[in-house]
Structure 1
Amino acid sequence: MTDATTLFTDLVRTETRLYNRIDARLRAEHDMSLGALEFLRIIGGRPVCRVHDIAQEVDITVGATSKAVDRLVARGWCERRANPDDRRSSLLVLTPAGEQALAAATPAFEAAMAGLTAALPRPVLDQLATGLSRWRQHLEQDPADQDA
């Protein structure tokens, strides 16, 4: 029987250490935070992207997302363009510099992940990935259906 408290602690501490190590590598090699890379990936991976879309994807507030996007705009990595379908929102588009930054940092991210997951045998890593994906899908369902 899995102890829920230990599972929670291990999951949170692992995520924190994983995030911090990859973030440090990206900052050192590409002057980019892991959060910035994630936002660039989201913007670049959608045909249409608004601040609200990113906020929903990463489950943070629109205000926090907007501030993070402002930092990407200040770096010249993305632009806010008028949304022809909704004057209250902007569409986010990667600039050529943003596309280049994303392309340059992605291999560093992938190499860092490969190095940090190498301690797990492939079947364990595959099972972990499958389990986390299922758990995430469950948690992303309508919050009204969730047990607290």
Structure 2
Amino acid sequence: MAYKSTSFFADLVRCETRLYNALNDRLRERHGIVTSQYEFLHHLREHPGARVAELAAEFAIGIGATSKGMDRLERRGWVARQPNPADRRSSLLVLTDEGARLADAAERTFTERLAELLGGPLSDAQLSPAARALSLLRTALERDGIGTPTG
């Protein structure tokens, strides 16, 4: 079992890296952003008024890295920070109109490219159980707080 687990891990990580890089290339080419920026914009479109800590938890990255990512998006005019009426120490993050337009356009590119990357080597019948297995694993890791960054 150890060999299979080690092999699974290597395949999972290398696939993720290659998919992420391929999506980076397409998003950069068409929209001038990278995958992590797209993911932030997409999340904020779906969850307007999120806080930096919520984004950090969603993406399993540190709060400092998340805040710096938001600073970059804010400087580009795609995200705005609004005062949090429930907590003066934090801000609520929202997309600007320009950020929402970018998120919509980038989502089409992202979805199209991901379908190309996954649909070539995998059929729907193969992809569906793989997606379920990864969802179960992610749920268990998140439930148990495994791999949560500190800071």
For this structure pair, what is the TM-score category when the shorter chain's length is used for normalisation?
over 0.9
- Answer whether contact 2:48 2:93 (CA < 8 A) is retained: no
Q: Which has the higher contact order (CA 8 A, sep 6+)?
A: 2
Q: Percent identity?
A: 45
Aligned twin of 1:20: 21
Provide the secondary structure at the position in 1 that maps to 2:50. coil
Aligned twin of 1:105: 106
Q: What's the offset of the Cα at 1:48?
A: 2.6
Deviates more, 1:118-127 or 1:15-24: 118-127
Aligned twin of 1:142: 144
Unaligned runs of 5+ in 2: 147-151
Provide the secondary structure at the position in 2 that maps to 1:140. helix
- Answer whether contact 2:84 2:91 (CA < 8 A) is retained: yes
Aligned twin of 1:70: 71
Q: Distance in 2 between matches of 1:43 and 1:52?
A: 13
Aligned twin of 1:41: 42
Q: What's the offset of the Cα at 1:138?
A: 0.6
Task: State the aligned residue count.
Answer: 144
Aligned twin of 2:131: 129
CA RMSD of aligned residues (A): 1.2
Q: What's the offset of the Cα at 1:9?
A: 0.3
Distance verdict in 2 for CA 1:85–1:46, change over 3 Å: same
Deviates more, 1:44-53 or 1:61-70: 44-53
TM-score in terms of structure 1 length = 0.94
Q: Distance in 1 between matches of 2:128 and 2:97?
A: 35
TM-score in terms of structure 2 length = 0.92
- Cα deviation, 1:75-116, whole Å, max 9, x if unaligned, reads 100101111110000000100000000011111000111000
Aligned twin of 1:59: 60
